[in-house]
Amino acid sequence: MPITCHSEYGSFESLFIKNVSAAFSNQDAINDQWQALHYLECPDYNLASEEYHHFESILTEHSNRIFHFSSDETVGMDSIYCRDASIATDYGMILCNMGKNERGKEPAAALKVYAAHGISILGQIIAPGSVEGGDVAWLDQHTLAVGHSYRTNAEGIAQLKLLLEPKGITVLVTSLPHFKGKEDVFHLMSIVSPIDLHHAVVYAPLMPIDFRNELLKRNMNLIEVPAEEFESMGCNVLGIGNKKCLMVAGNPLTQARIEKAGFQVHTYSGAEISVKGGGGPTCLTRPIKRRF
């Protein structure tokens, strides 16, 4: 079976995560940071640790190798959402430049860990460009969808194209709506989660028309998230391979629709580690290689 970094849904060959103890540190650190980072509420450290233990146990059952980002005093609690600081490609990692100022040092912290593991670097997005990993999603091995958002700007997308287009990768750009504004956590993967080549979980009211039509042109079956389950992260679904996926518990309508489409759904309680910070299971993981 082929192995690639260019997939959002193959079974995990290797991935990185950052657990609560490394990202949140302790309750005092959470108390100091959560408001400035625009969390909905203050996470409880002990409850967050329990949630993360269950989350990681599910990943362990479905992954060949899990690596951990270590604690780093240069970054804050948002670093638990480790997808955002980099993009995995078959040619090496691309280090992002964060659109959220408070997260600016996360790519450099990730680089130290990648270097320690001998993972090559293809390139880096530099100012005035910005790109965050939550704004990119592989639609197939040769197509990377990118959301032009408050976190990912035109300069950053231009740099991304310079890195990937010479490799034969199509960078498919779509402009995201204003929604709640610059301070909100709103990425491309807030509204679309590919879970196999022909299925994606989507939130239609916020989808750009051109992007929705592109997915339909690709014969994608769009599994619609109801309005009442958008804020509870019903649209943030992590493909874990073999028609299986992982989502935050408490989204029964979306879960039923995914299961009706033929998928097995695993859930975890994510009030502390996901909902309050606006980062679901895709955000909590940095997949490197997948097998499919």
What are the structure tokens assigned to 260, written together? 């009706």
Instruction: Please give the C-alpha separations between residue 48 and each of 26, 51, 127, 251, 268, in angstroms, as whole numbers.
Output: 10, 5, 34, 19, 12
Strands 3-4 and 238-241: unpaired
The answer on pLDDT for 289 being more than 90 is yes
What are the structure tokens assigned to 81, written together? 């959402």
Residue-wise pLDDT for 24-83, tens only, equals 999 999 999 999 999 999 999 999 999 999 999 999 999 989 999 999 999 999 999 999
Contact 267, 255 (CB under 8 A): yes
For 3-291, the fitting CATH number among 3.75.10.10, 3.40.50.970, 3.40.50.300, 3.10.300.10 is 3.75.10.10
What are the structure tokens assigned to 92, written together? 């090496």
Query: How many CB atoms are located within 10 Å of the residue 65 CB?
Result: 11
Distance of alpha carbon 65 from alpha carbon 167, whole angstroms: 27
Query: Mean per-residue pLDDT for 204-225?
Result: 97
* pLDDT on residue 185: 84
Strands 92-95 and 121-124: parallel
* pLDDT on residue 292: 80
Query: Residue ranges of the alpha helices (H) in 1-153?
Result: 20-23, 27-33, 45-61, 106-116
Q: How confident is the model at residue 1 (pLDDT cuts 50, 70, 90)?
A: low
Contact 40, 87 (CB under 8 A): no
Instruction: Please give the C-alpha separations between residue 85 and each of 31, 60, 134, 180, in angstroms, as whole numbers.
Output: 23, 22, 9, 22
Threshold 0.85, pTM exceeds: yes
Residue-wise pLDDT for 90-120, tens only, equals 999 999 999 999 999 999 999 999 999 999 9
Distance of alpha carbon 240 from alpha carbon 253, whole angstroms: 20
Residue-wise pLDDT for 134-192, tens only, equals 999 999 999 999 999 999 999 999 999 999 999 999 999 999 999 998 888 899 999 99
Q: Give, rounded to a whole angstrom, the gap between the first and last alpha carbons of the chain.
A: 6
* pLDDT on residue 183: 84
The answer on pLDDT for 227 being more than 90 is yes
For the chain, the domains span 3-291
Question: Shortest CA distance to 80 belongs to which of 152, 16, 147, 6?
Answer: 16
The answer on pLDDT for 230 being more than 80 is yes
Query: Residue ranges of the alpha helices (H) in 63-198?
Result: 106-116, 154-164
Q: Residues near 204 by Cβ (< 8 Å), separated by ≥ 6? A: 212, 222, 224, 225
Full strand arrangement of the beta sheet holding 143-148 = 136-140, 143-148, 170-175
